[in-house]
Amino acid sequence: MTPPLTRAEKTRRTRHRMLAAAAGLFVERGWTGTTVEDIARSAEVGVQTVYFTFGTKRALLKEVLDTAIAGDTDSAATLDRPWARAVLAVPDPARQLARQAAGARGVLQRATPVLEVVRAAAASDPELATLWRTSVEQRHTVQLHFARALLAKAGGTLRDGHDAESAADIAFTVLGPETYGLLVTVRGWSPARWEHWAADTLVRQLLP
């Protein structure tokens, strides 16, 4: 006989259901087209449950974004994630770039639709504009950390005299949701094809 769910597990499942409902509606209808009432109805909870759990619609969107990027509700930072540690641990610079592309693919397959919701909403909502800027800055910070490791593995020399800052700029652009969205969502590339292209592009742009 299956034991009854604990109160904590019921709360966790309800929270997950609200996040899943919100993610689907935000992507389908956009920021302004989605109401808290819609989310509550889809998640089969009361409106006050949504407000009690997340506080505001903006805070809910932020948690939806964080969950999409991470792939779970763990609060571990990106650089503490196994895929990021694997990027930093591999000794060969070309293999590092391949792992960066693979890691980015995993994140972008989940997060690109939600990132697009935030980017579009940022044009008219100051608080979401701040959330978008923070997301951009965090992505660049991760790439700068990777670029410094790459520079060390490449013996201190990258193609065309790139330093860590400019190498991070290139990776930030190649592995960004904008580029992924154009090639995969708009042009119909498969994620695997995008990953191969991204890894090859980074090697050609950055390694001697």
40-53 pLDDT per residue, tens: 999 999 999 999 99
- Split at pLDDT 50, 70, 90, the class of 72 is confident
Contact between 174 and 198 (Cβ < 8 Å): yes
Fold (CATH) for 1-71? Tetracycline Repressor; domain 2 (1.10.357)
Cα 154 → chain centroid: 27
- Rounded to whole angstroms, the Cα distance separating 39 from 76 reads 27
- Cα dihedral 160, 157, 101, 88, rounded to 10, equals -160
Tell me the pLDDT of the chain averaged across its residues. Answer: 95
Question: Which of 4-8, 69-73, 203-207 is predicted most confidently?
Answer: 203-207
For the record, the structure tokens of 83 come out as: 């895929």
pLDDT score of 139: 96
Domain ranges, ordered by start, for the chain: 1-71, 76-208
> pLDDT per residue over 76-116, tens digit each?
889 999 999 999 999 999 999 999 999 999 999 999 999 99
What secondary structure does DSSP assign to 6-75, as a single string?
PHHHHHHHHHHHHHHHHHHHHHHH-STT--HHHHHHHHTS-HHHHHHHHSSHHHHHHHHHHHHHHSSS--
**7 pLDDT tier (thresholds 50, 70, 90):** confident
CB neighbourhood size of 49 (10 A): 15
- Measured between alpha carbons, how far is 148 from 142 in angstroms, rounded to an integer? 10
CA 144 to chain centre: 16
Q: How many CA atoms lie within 13 A of 170 on its CB side?
A: 23
Residue 11, pLDDT score: 86
Single-letter amino acid, residue 20? A
SS3 86: helix
Distance CA 126, CA 130 (A): 6
* Separation of alpha carbons 74 and 15, rounded Å: 13
Q: Is the pLDDT of residue 2 over 70?
A: no
- Distance CA(12)–CA(69), nearest Å, equals 19
Alpha-carbon Rg for the chain, nearest whole angstrom, is 19
Does pTM surpass 0.85? yes
